[in-house]
Structure 1
Amino acid sequence: MENYNLLFPRLRSARSRKRAGRKDVEKQIRKKYNRSEKLWDIRRKIPWIPLENPYQRGFVRFFVLRDDVKRSKDTDFFEGILNKINTYMYSESRQFLKKKKKSGRRIYVEREQKLKRISSLGWNDPKLGFTQRERQYFLKKEEYNPFRKRNDIYYEFIEPWRFILRVRPNMITHYKPLDSELEKECDELGSYLRQYKVAGIIRKKIYGRPKPWKADYETDLIKSRKYTAYIMSATELADYFEDL
């Protein structure tokens, strides 16, 4: 009886066993996720090998400087901006057409191509390195995102007329060798990590960030003019509505 009483405190409750099982699952998912990230980095660092006989695969369309902008003294300045907001579109034909339904029948129309919009994260990204002069050529805008159910902030170039579209053959000159074992492991990990419950745990435990209800509540109050009038000075209030 005494031995039984000594062992009793060591028995784990059902709640403790459930918590331990959940942590083991999270550790397994985190381990597989880290392995997937490592394999992705290995694949990215595989060197490209030049082809002996390059071949054409359709056409590519992108933006270039207009001739009058090239002849100006700000050629290097706008070339630097274009390198950060240029977009590339590929097509099997030179026309860059797409199907569109009109009046019950399908017609071909030209595919629209625009310059890249800079997100709020990219705006402050040191890799892009926007200078103060370059920032003056962008306009801050907001657009409602139906998936996130909120307004997303982005920055758009205000003088797109300085660039024109150019179409060139899309030449394939290099290839990256594939490792069958590496690709097989990547596919297996990707199939596991894309499962509904596993993806939910990854978003919560790895990507998740604390976001208390108070932050959302204060944000909604700041958008109210009545509340803003009490917490902001006249100068701060003017700057706030100028950014909207």
Structure 2
Amino acid sequence: MHLHHGTDEFQGYRLRSARTRKRWAKTDREKQLIALDKLQNELWRQWSDRPFLPLETPYQSGWIRTYVLREDVQKSKHAAFFSSILSRINNVQFNRDKDFRAKKRNRRRKTYSIAQPLREIDEYGWKSGKCKLTDLQKQFFYPRTSWCTRKRRFVTHYVFSEPWRFVLVVQPRMITQVQLADPVLESKKQLVDNHIRNYDLRQKLNKLTKGKKRTYSRCGKPPVIDPYKNRSFSDRLQAYLTEA
């Protein structure tokens, strides 16, 4: 009786096929990668949330160049209005030299001034309200369409129409506080970052956590759906003859 009972258990036991084992192994690996991505994000959050400690003796580290209101605009009654616009489109740069010049790559003796235009607002930020501009402030912007080499399509940005209201000023960059050091947290973060970089896991992690790439803009039209998709050739031909 005992042998017969064991045979029934053996027959009722469901063996895993090779395909099932492969699928389960892939699922387990993806779960491990998702957990690794969450761990990296958590370590980076803890690293950025470290408290700041004020320095007893502040020191200078390079120079900062930023836009401010022109003197006559600052004294006018519209100073608060344009100051609010400037807070959305200001462009801040840092440099170790006060003249903000860089050497050319091919000719080391030749230098050129580093350009610093006002920040432009992309179409997504403009339509979604992420730019946080009022309707009256938006009247001081105009759209400009140009070809984007990286996206390989035309993109639209909104540019401030009166940049003369702002001027560039150069100020010393003073360091008055530093973040508290945490060697243990830094070691953990570096260990996870090195593992992802050495095993080239970033692309796989992005695919698992952020999904596939979109080939269309979030602000543009949705992709066109083919009404004849997954239909036979005879149905397509009949629809074409009917429309003709």
TM-score of the superposed pair, with normalisation by structure 2: 0.77
Q: Is 2:171 aligned against 1:171?
A: no
Counterpart of 1:6 in structure 2: which amino acid?
G
Which position in structure 1 is the counterpart of 2:239?
Answer: none
Separation in 2, partners of 1:130, 1:41: 29
Separation in 2, partners of 1:167, 1:212: 41
Q: Is 2:60 aligned against 1:82?
A: no
Write out aligned runs for 1:216-235 (5 A).
216-217=223-224
SS in structure 2 of the partner of residue 206 of structure 1: helix
Separation in 2, partners of 1:77, 1:211: 38
Structure 1 residue 172: deviation in Å? 0.7
Unaligned runs of 5+ in 1: 219-244
SS in structure 1 of the partner of residue 94 of structure 2: strand
Change (3 A) 1:204 1:157: same
Note the aligned Cα RMSD (angstroms).
2.7
Change (3 A) 1:48 1:157: same
Structure 1 residue 192: deviation in Å? 2.8
User: Paired residue for 1:64, among 52, 60, 68?
Assistant: 68
Separation in 2, partners of 1:22, 1:150: 37
Structure 1 residue 200: deviation in Å? 2.2
Which position in structure 2 is the counterpart of 1:206?
Answer: 209
User: Paired residue for 2:125, among 122, 125, 128?
Assistant: 122
Separation in 2, partners of 1:45, 1:101: 38
SS in structure 2 of the partner of residue 69 of structure 1: helix
- List per-residue Cα deviations over 1:118-155 (Å, max 9, x = no partner): 22343356664221112222222333333333333332
Write out aligned runs for 1:37-186 (5 A).
37-100=41-104, 106-124=109-127, 128-186=131-189
Contact (CA 8 Å) 1:39, 1:182: kept in 2 or not? yes
Contact (CA 8 Å) 1:60, 1:89: kept in 2 or not? yes
Length, aligned pairs only: 215
Separation in 2, partners of 1:97, 1:44: 31
Unaligned runs of 5+ in 2: 1-6, 226-244
SS in structure 1 of the partner of residue 150 of structure 2: coil
Contact (CA 8 Å) 2:121, 2:131: kept in 1 or not? no
Separation in 2, partners of 1:42, 1:126: 30
Q: Give the structure with the larger helix fraction.
A: 1
User: Paired residue for 2:191, among 188, 193, 200?
Assistant: 188
SS in structure 2 of the partner of residue 93 of structure 1: coil
